[in-house]
Amino acid sequence: MVANLLTDAWTSFRPHKVQQALWRNRKRFAAVACGRGSGKTEIAKRKLVCCLPHPKPWADPRYFYGAPTEQQAMRIAWDHFLRMIPENWIAMDGIKLASREPPHIRTVFGSRLYILGMDKPQRAEGDQWDGGVLDESCDLKPGIFDRNVLPMLIHRNGWCWRIGVPKRQGPSSREFRDFFRLGASGADEDLTSFHWPSSDILPENALRFAKKRLDARDYREQFDGLFQRLSGGIFHAFDSKRNVRRVTYNPDRLLVVGMDFNVDPMCWVYGHPIEGKVPGLEWFGELHVSDTNTPACLDMLWSQFRKHQGGFEFYPDAAGDARKTSAYMSDIQHIAAHKGLKSAPKGRVIHAIAANPALEDRFSATNSLLCNADGDRRMFFDSDGCPNTILDFEHRRYKPGTRDPADGPTEGHCSDAAGYAVWQRFPELGRVDDMATMPFGVVV
């Protein structure tokens, strides 16, 4: 095999039947929907490199690796390609980074391997290609394959693999799902589909790590590599029986306050952290006040907890540092300057952030705390003290067919207030993209 002649970047991996079937596949198009760390991108890179020395009826075989942006494609593939391709395969002055063409490697065989950012597909148009890979397929612009890629493959009967994690969200999530299902159905003789879960490749300790961080639906998507239904419920992990229980106030424990600075209504939730091996949050009360401002709500909070001994921690909406609900001081400055809170026995800590996280990231972290893939529930609400917050978690929805919340003027604020505390107190939750690189295995 060509792989046996290549560099140290080509390491040995344990056999895997579905990966072997993908490698031997001879159909023009393949949809590859797999979990993270499962080796799908590695196989695709090897496929492209192994094509480079093969002769064609024309002198300039052309292949591409494409991702949603050129920067992303370069980060994923460029350095690895340079390590994978033997130096004696690369033509003199064959590495091109600064030119009118996309970055590419030209070989002594006359073939070229291009790195394409599919946010600017016109840079690749006008030429015919022998084959290529579209990675992170759910994040590509809709219609890229049909409008831009397919026409470039016609005259040379080129091939293309569309690969990626089967995400619920992303501009082309539905398109990738439909393409995969068409390949799996066998209805198109030029297309086939492949799937295997991360558990076939990753060690069990890595999967346990992921299960603790993600809710069940995110885990099935990201590591089982399964297409999940895009339901309307934002907090699908919330269970009105399992996440609602009696929560009592303890004046000697730390008081955590999550804050959304909407004016009408202004919504805060307050409770205690759950300590121990399985840390979490339990909320016993809320402020849900119409037509108010921050100083007034701080006075309400202080009047209720002026004898509190355990200290205060505030987790405000990032908008609280803008002059939005107060005329002359920012909301965070009001918290810092409140005389009562300043005099509290253990003081107050304000966890202010420069900008709110992306909605989907905060929602994912919150769902993970409500119930992770291992079935651990780590966030609870008192039924008497948090009626508006519970309703928010039960009924908050997405707009049909989108990842945008369908919030009315009074909706979403209580769950946001809790979510700001979750995001900062549990930075490990829901952040799939930030997970450390995990080992993977492929066979070629």
pLDDT in the model for residue 440: 38
Whether 441 has a pLDDT exceeding 80, the answer reads no
pLDDT in the model for residue 5: 52
CA nearest neighbour of 131 among 36, 218, 49: 49
**In this structure, what are the phi and psi dihedrals at residue 346, rounded to the nearest 5 degrees?**
-110, 15
Q: Distance (Å, rounded) from C-alpha 51 to C-alpha 44? A: 11
pLDDT band at 400 (very low <50, low <70, confident <90, very high): confident
Q: What mean pLDDT, rounded, does the chain reach?
A: 89
- Structural contact between residues 372 and 216, judged by C-beta atoms closer than 8 angstroms: yes
Over residues 228-244, the pLDDT tens digits come to 876 668 999 999 999 99
Indicate the helix (H) or strand (E) that contains 161: strand 159-164
Structural domains in the chain, CATH included, are 2-202 (3.40.50.300), 255-432 (3.30.420.280)
pLDDT mean over 60-64: 96
pLDDT band at 6 (very low <50, low <70, confident <90, very high): low
Q: Distance (Å, rounded) from C-alpha 336 to C-alpha 346? A: 14
**Top-confidence residue, 191 or 93:** 191
pLDDT mean over 142-158: 94
**In this structure, what are the phi and psi dihedrals at residue 314, rounded to the nearest 5 degrees?**
-110, 135
What amino acid occupies position 339? K
pLDDT in the model for residue 402: 74
Q: What percent of the chain has pLDDT over 90?
A: 70
pLDDT mean over 165-185: 91
Whether 437 has a pLDDT exceeding 80, the answer reads no
Whether 76 has a pLDDT exceeding 90, the answer reads yes
Query: Per the structure block, which two tokens stand in for 303?
Result: 């009047």
The pairing of strands 159-164 and 131-134 is: parallel
CA nearest neighbour of 66 among 155, 193, 157, 172: 172
Query: Per the structure block, which two tokens stand in for 240?
Result: 């009105």
pTM for the model = 0.74
- Structural contact between residues 148 and 119, judged by C-beta atoms closer than 8 angstroms: no
pLDDT band at 444 (very low <50, low <70, confident <90, very high): very low
pLDDT mean over 378-399: 94
pLDDT in the model for residue 269: 98
pLDDT in the model for residue 33: 96
CA nearest neighbour of 11 among 441, 414, 341: 441
